[in-house]
Structure 1
Amino acid sequence: MQRVTIAISLPLTGDPGVGAASARDGALLAIEDFELDGYLVRTLVLDHAVNGTYDERQGADDMTELVANEDVIAVVGPFNSAVARAQIPIGNQAGLLQCSPATTNPGITSGPAGADLRRANPDRIAFIRVSTTDDFQGPALARFGFDELDLRRVAVIDDGQAYGDNLANAFGSEFQRLGGTVVERRTVQAGIDDEAVVVEELRGSDPDGVLFGGLTITGGAAFRHQMGVAGMGDLAFLAGDGIVDGPGSVGESYIGLTGPAAANSFGAIAAIAEFPGRDAFSVRYLEAFSTWPGAYSAPGHACAEVILDSIRVAAARGVVTREAVRAAATDTTRTFDTVLGPLQFDEVGDTSLKVVSIYGVDPAAANGTGDWIYDSQVTLGGE
């Protein structure tokens, strides 16, 4: 009996812990259901959250530890693009496969920035992801706002950081292409700019909605709170996955910090919510964990499925090694049958599934504390 280990490297405590834990449990479920004669698959779970948030240095240390553990054949994770930047060079140098259920920054795989992260072995991809990227998340929000909310005049704000700026720019380009108008384009940095002053200035532009590129902790909650104070809470507030961070019962979440002003807020998650096997998966997940799947449960499951299928392929070829599993998973000609549906990875490890799900705040959910409820999903690419 050959024993192999699949590691799970995610930030499992603090602000990102809700989503990351659902990805962990999805992966564990897939591994639990896996059977292959002659092989026993074990798991090793590492938490790289420090002081309530993801930590790049801890993520790098964990990846170094996993590389040194000869039993580890592949890794599910990380959850955040900043940690991916720290981990990818380590995994690339060692040839240790990673599959991320949630990272969205285009630069960790594509272009000069992506190439620089794998400079040790430029042609040996060791990082793949089942989540699509921010350059699709922004346009999906634009289409949702234009088509479903009938927005035509939107103020576009970013938090001054790479994620927020990329998301805001991608939204603005698509919204204008659809025929909408960007009435304001501003950078508002938490702790530097006065959100109350900016909100009052926006009033004069007469927007019917606001797009915020950033996170709860980088100004998303503070900006929306000030909109409520200023009597602008009826305007739609759109953002990426950086604000979809749990129900109002979680005090440091977007809903917890904004309170009643969270109503009319919508967040995009680069994860597929509607898929053919959704009902059966939900029942199986409920049986295993006594709770319904989270937004990243199925992506976590899909990552594990890709790794497990690659183990099966390697075994059929005679030997299960890190390199054999990595090569099978990154083969651009292979199609993987996952809970999300059939998917492939391109030459830099990005998924063929360009789908973004939209969630809205229901103030009455979660026993009246408010929670994110799935609304719809947008499919992009190949049009």
Structure 2
Amino acid sequence: MLKTSRFFLSAVAAGAALAAAASAQAQDAQVVRIAHVGPTSGGIAHIGKDTENGVRMAIDELNGQGITIGGKKIKFELVAEDDAGDPKQATTVAQKLCDQKVAGIIGHLQSGTTIPASSIYNKCGIPHITTAATNPDLTKPGYNTTYRLIANDNALGAAVAIYAASALKLKTVAVIDDRTAYGQGLAEVFKDEAKKRGMNVVSSEFTTDKATDFMAILTNIKAKKPDAIFFGGLDAQAGPMLRQMEQLGMGQMKYFGGDALCTPKLSELASKAAVVGNVTCATGGISVEKMAGGPDWKKRYDTKFPNQFQIYSPYAYDATMVLADAMKRANSTDPKVYLPQLAKTNYKGLTAQVQFTPKGELTQPAVTLNGYKNQQRTPLN
């Protein structure tokens, strides 16, 4: 009995020592905070949550790698912020993250929130990578802290216009935008390219990114009998608009848009109206099904976040990995030190071989056209 008791006490002591050592080792790890900012409340919260999930996934995997930077074990932590898709809230959050001295930022989602936030990040010297904001104006100031991991509106709007004019041989189109930096910018690019391709823009209308009733706009467009409608806006408005098109007998009309309406949730938002089958929309990059390792990555995502995948999470995942890669190459998590390495990125990611132009754009942005077959988003190319 005495020997057994001594053995038990020795085992307990050894276990306590190991636990203490592990605790001390964990305390020795340097915590590096990476922020995600996007609309995780409101009408497009499903899209914002998807990008946040992508960052979470990357951070979990990075922490599993036992990374050492600057001679210290690194533990990455996510700082999750909600900008509600509101430019004022976005700038408030941006300043908060500057004050907290986070190491890097993934976000924001929309151009209208990303553009004003980008100047704040530039002033405090913290790099940010957007995986969704597509207005070309974002990178025009040339901030060395601003990067985009997706094709911009010049590529997206043009791709849809070329498809409408060249592949579908359409002659007339009506254009609607939601007056946001994203929607209005995308619509202008589409209109310019459509006109170059010989299409006639018979009507230009606008709404807001909070609207739900489009009957008056659609009735006016219906009278002009266009072959198609292009909408520069979000799925939260595109869904009800499609539903109302069907109610007005416009179910045969083609419908075009950009990446923000091109989500798996569009069909649900449109109450699975048959006109969803007439939608063609452009997304930056290639579909997850065609990414090298994409199907396996999607399985891991679905296991962690069932039924939450939308569109941008693979890009948010890659953006997080790109930040970590720059830190490793600089051997520092200090933004001032690793920022020059971020500009020199040549990273083989899930979504692409990531390299940036001096303005922070991808050197080789890809575009995917999508349709909706049997109410499911389906790549066309």
Query: TM-score with structure 1 length normalisation?
Result: 0.79
For 1:54, which of 67, 85, 89 is the aligned residue?
Answer: 85
For 1:109, which of 139, 149, 161 is the aligned residue?
Answer: 139
Q: Provide the C-alpha distance between the structure 2 equivalents of 1:287 and 1:329, rounded to a whole number of angstroms.
A: 31
| 322-331 or 127-136: bigger deviation | 322-331
Aligned pair 1:314/2:314, yes or no? no
Aligned pair 1:375/2:379, yes or no? yes
Alignment of 1:178-193 (within 5 A): 178=197, 180-189=198-207
Shift of residue 214 of structure 1? 3.0
Alignment of 1:151-300 (within 5 A): 151-178=170-197, 180-189=198-207, 196=215, 198-203=217-222, 205-216=224-235, 220-221=238-239, 223-244=241-262, 247=265, 253=269, 255-256=270-271, 259-273=273-287, 274-291=290-307, 293-300=309-316
The one-letter amino acid paired with 1:322 is P
| Higher-Rg member (1/2) | 2
Per-residue CA distance 1:199-231 (angstroms, 9 max, x = gap): 4454454422221223456x6456544432331
The one-letter amino acid paired with 2:356 is F
Q: Provide the C-alpha distance between the structure 2 equivalents of 1:27 and 1:161, rounded to a whole number of angstroms.
A: 26
CA contact (8 A) 2:107 2:128 kept: yes
Q: Provide the C-alpha distance between the structure 2 equivalents of 1:170 and 1:234, rounded to a whole number of angstroms.
A: 25
Q: 1:182 to 1:75 in 2, by over 3 A?
A: same
Q: Percent of counterpart pairs with the same letter? A: 23
Q: Provide the C-alpha distance between the structure 2 equivalents of 1:196 and 1:293, rounded to a whole number of angstroms.
A: 31
Shift of residue 271 of structure 1? 3.9
Shift of residue 106 of structure 1? 0.9
Structure 2 gaps, min length 5: 1-28
Aligned pair 1:83/2:87, yes or no? no
Per-residue CA distance 1:160-183 (angstroms, 9 max, x = gap): 4543332222213323434x4224
Shift of residue 327 of structure 1? 1.8
CA contact (8 A) 1:335 1:344 kept: yes
The one-letter amino acid paired with 1:21 is K
Q: Provide the C-alpha distance between the structure 2 equivalents of 1:291 and 1:216, rounded to a whole number of angstroms.
A: 17
Q: 1:157 to 1:228 in 2, by over 3 A?
A: same
Per-residue CA distance 1:67-118 (angstroms, 9 max, x = gap): 2224x211111111121123212211111111111111111211xxx35xx5
Q: Provide the C-alpha distance between the structure 1 equivalents of 2:267 and 2:246, rounded to a whole number of angstroms.
A: 19
Q: Provide the C-alpha distance between the structure 2 equivalents of 1:14 and 1:88, rounded to a whole number of angstroms.
A: 22
Q: Provide the C-alpha distance between the structure 1 equivalents of 2:175 and 2:39, rounded to a whole number of angstroms.
A: 30
CA contact (8 A) 2:33 2:79 kept: no
SS across alignment from 1:23: helix
The one-letter amino acid paired with 1:374 is T
Aligned pair 1:44/2:78, yes or no? yes
- Corresponding residue for residue 99 of structure 1: 129
Q: 1:276 to 1:245 in 2, by over 3 A?
A: closer
Q: Provide the C-alpha distance between the structure 2 equivalents of 1:147 and 1:14, rounded to a whole number of angstroms.
A: 37
Q: Provide the C-alpha distance between the structure 2 equivalents of 1:242 and 1:151, rounded to a whole number of angstroms.
A: 23
CA contact (8 A) 1:314 1:321 kept: no
Per-residue CA distance 1:35-69 (angstroms, 9 max, x = gap): 223332322332324xxx41223222222222222
Q: Provide the C-alpha distance between the structure 2 equivalents of 1:108 and 1:298, rounded to a whole number of angstroms.
A: 21
For 1:11, which of 27, 33, 39 is the aligned residue?
Answer: 39
Q: 1:8 to 1:196 in 2, by over 3 A?
A: closer
- Corresponding residue for residue 335 of structure 1: 346
Q: 1:339 to 1:186 in 2, by over 3 A?
A: same
| 125-134 or 182-191: bigger deviation | 182-191
Structure richer in helix, relative to its length: 2
Q: Provide the C-alpha distance between the structure 2 equivalents of 1:302 and 1:185, rounded to a whole number of angstroms.
A: 40
Structure 1 gaps, min length 5: 119-124, 366-371, 378-383
CA contact (8 A) 2:31 2:77 kept: no
RMSD: 2.9
